[in-house]
Amino acid sequence: MYDAIILAGGTNSKSLSQLNPQPYEALIEIAGRPMVSFVAEALAASIHVERIFVIGPSKELAACHLPENTTVLEGGRTILETISIGMAALGHQRKVLVATADIPLLTQAAVDDFLAQCASTEADLYYPVVQKEVNNRRYPDSKRTYVRLREGVFTGGNIFLVNPVIVPQCMTVAEKIIENRKNPWKLACIMGWLFLFKFIIGMLSLKAAEARVSEILGITGAVIQSTYPELGIDVDKESDLELVRATFSLSKN
């Protein structure tokens, strides 16, 4: 069993605020409910998840209808500060699931599959990727950031399995990686020139990327190939919100 942390402190972007005036992304309304509630429910439905910590604007989040095994905590000023608050609240150093609050299409099946794959290998940090063709087959109108690797074209997910022990030592570099997670070029520059060269010519492999991240952070990392695009369909621009709302609307019909 794993505990889970939902990062819910992100402020609403200018473009999204025109469609929904909520000050925080986690509170953006979808199908009459705050977006974060869908993420929490998907995690709570998993047989592998025990407790859930939702970390962000505690007053606003406390007013949301969340699963019974959920605890709301006040977030920090940065993503990593918020992660640290969550890690401290765990009371243990077992691996923890970390998810962002802006992936409302997340499902129990996606969570269970990710964790089942993680269980097959030993690592400190597990990160999911989804092939472009898999994403487009399920969500053809989705506009995602992709990278071309030797094995194919991939996009990243917004859910991670983390060993809490590694968090303090990874703070500085991890913050840079998180800040540039949607900018493949800047991300490649952080990784080094050889990494960048292989990335440019499309010869960088998933294993090489996994090894380089592990080396830079001083940890053991594992890339998990998922067939569930819901892990990465995040809502951070107008087209994303429209896609998610349309998806929920269709599911009701």
At 211, which CATH number?
A: 3.90.550.10
Mean pLDDT taken over the chain: 87
What pairing do the DSSP bridges indicate for beta strands 96-100 and 70-74? unpaired
Residues 41-50 have pLDDT tens digits of: 999 999 999 9
Kindly provide the residue ranges of all beta strands, DSSP E only, lying in 95-245, ordered along the sequence.
96-100, 125-131, 147-149, 152-156, 159-162, 221-226
Report how far residue 222's alpha carbon sits from residue 167's, in angstroms, rounded to the nearest whole number.
16
pTM of the model: 0.88
Q: Using 50, 70 and 90 to split pLDDT, how confident is the model at 13? A: low
Residues 182-203 have pLDDT tens digits of: 676 776 777 776 677 776 767 7
Helix-then-strand count for the chain, H and E: 11, 11
Q: How many domains does the chain have?
A: 1
pLDDT, average across residues 31-39: 94
Give the CB-side neighbour count of residue 9, counting CA atoms within 13 A: 21
Give the CB-side neighbour count of residue 247, counting CA atoms within 13 A: 19
Residues 148-176 have pLDDT tens digits of: 888 999 999 999 999 998 887 777 676 67
For the chain, give percent helix, strand, coil, nearest 5. 45, 20, 35
Report how far residue 125's alpha carbon sits from residue 223's, in angstroms, rounded to the nearest whole number.
9
Residues 65-78 have pLDDT tens digits of: 999 999 999 998 88
Contact between 127 and 223 under an 8 Å Cβ cutoff? The reply is yes
Range of the domain at 63: 2-252
Q: How far is CA 202 from CA 26, 155, 199, in A?
A: 36, 15, 5
